[in-house]
Structure 1
Amino acid sequence: MEQFAIGGDLPVRRIGFGAMRLPTEAGPAREASIALARRAVELGITLIDTAHLYGGGANEELLAEALYPYPDDLVVTTKVGVVRTGDDWKYDARPESLRVQVDEGLRRLRVERIELLQLHRLDPETPLADQLGALRDLRDEGKIGRIGLSEVTVDELARAREIVDIASVQNRYSLLDRSYEAVLDACEAAGIAFLPWRPVLGAASEAGSELVAVAAELGVTTAQVGLAWLLVRSPVILPIPGTANIAHLEENFAAGDVKLTAEHLERLSS
């Protein structure tokens, strides 16, 4: 499978894994999550996405238990800027809070540096320069390698890039949900990695006639067609499909071998 270098110098295979759905509670479900994370690495996945928000850090701890010490080519990217308060959550990208969240992430992931750290959401109560300035400081201190954003507009991305180098954007995007098309185009023009979250949910659940027909013609699933379309749509796209099922994990990764013809692409893109 071809690779993309995040930030120009961090190569990963183009289909990654989103760990959000992995159960973290003690018992058989946790053991299954650990087995799935290890299977992802066995398959050759080199990009795994998690976040401070997922289980209040429990997802990060799960990945460390499953995979530490990490293979040299594995990138575990995490996100900060959204915190849990009891059963609720809130935006919190104040500089002092981001510093605490990053330090907690380093501890949970058992690393001294997070190679790709993404701001989970822009905090509307904190000046953008303060949020990104704090991450820039943490990068300069060596705690972060590269900085990414999530759920941003074209204008927000442009303003952010005036403050600090942006290596990635993680927005919702799929074959059947292209509301962030302009953001993807901006990322492609700038060579910024675009990590679509929920990249196959629509494709897997939608009984669209062309989607189903193309999948049947190729002998693959609609989810695999959706992922294959993303890989062709732009060279900067790095899908991170999530699942708690090993068979689905293997199916998603195998989408990298699905070959769509020009006719398939025309039918799907319309």
Structure 2
Amino acid sequence: MLDSGTTPICRGLNGVIRPADDPIWERIYPPNHFGCRAGVRSLTAREAEARGGVSPLPPGLEVPPGFARPPTARWEPDPAKYPPELWEALQGKLAERIEIGREILELRGRVSAREKDQILRGLEGLRLSRWMEQNPIRTLEIASNLAQTRNRMGDYDRLTQSIRLLYPRPEGSWADEKPLGQLRAVSTKGSSALQAAAITLVHEFGHHLYEAMREETENRLFARYIQAKKEGRFVSLRARDGVLEWFSESLAAHRFFRRDFRKFDPATSAMIEDVLARLR
């Protein structure tokens, strides 16, 4: 927001574009001062290029101490700052976290071991364990109400590389018998609430996967998206909402309904299989 209340710090940073992994975010991620109203938007490589690409920082930029802490910065509690009884309670909460290896660094939410295995099975079927070791999902959170997921079945945060899933899911959000191409979302074709959640996880993982792709692969997929759009080969209504949703819905269909998807859109199915094979 640029107005009479905008500080020189934020005015100088307005429109600055830097890579997501640039260490400079340790110094400039808002809020950068008291009352800071600035925000950060994630851009694809294509969007960044259209806006002029990576830009330099303004000279003499000084952010006051205590600000500019990116959400990816790791925080560790200091036991000296807590009363003993509160520290003990905190340790108990931290112990409830389910550590599931390097592929997903942290799983939040109370789900049984059976439910966890069923939901994660969707990712295992992609056979990208080696790739995920280098590009892990930082947090998978199982949310139990719609408010936490903004009235959606799932959500991916590009900046923090985190996924949130709705589970349990509301009635009517699975067991849709419509064929591919007529679905509201691929996850609604799941035979159970658990499978629908697993499909949603693969869909949201598709966003994570797409963000990490090389420009050449991204360009190939974008060209296929344009062709699929001309042919009207959208696997669901949700797939119509841009290339990211198209790719994620197609990935989910390829993973869970491969035979039907190959018949529905053989070119996209073959391209997704090729992309996955190159990553394995």
TM range (shorter): under 0.3
Higher RCO, Cα 8 Å, sep 6+ = 1
Who wins on radius of gyration, i.e. which is larger? 2
TM-score (norm: length of structure 1): 0.26
TM-score (norm: length of structure 2): 0.26
Larger strand proportion, structure 1 or 2? Answer: 1
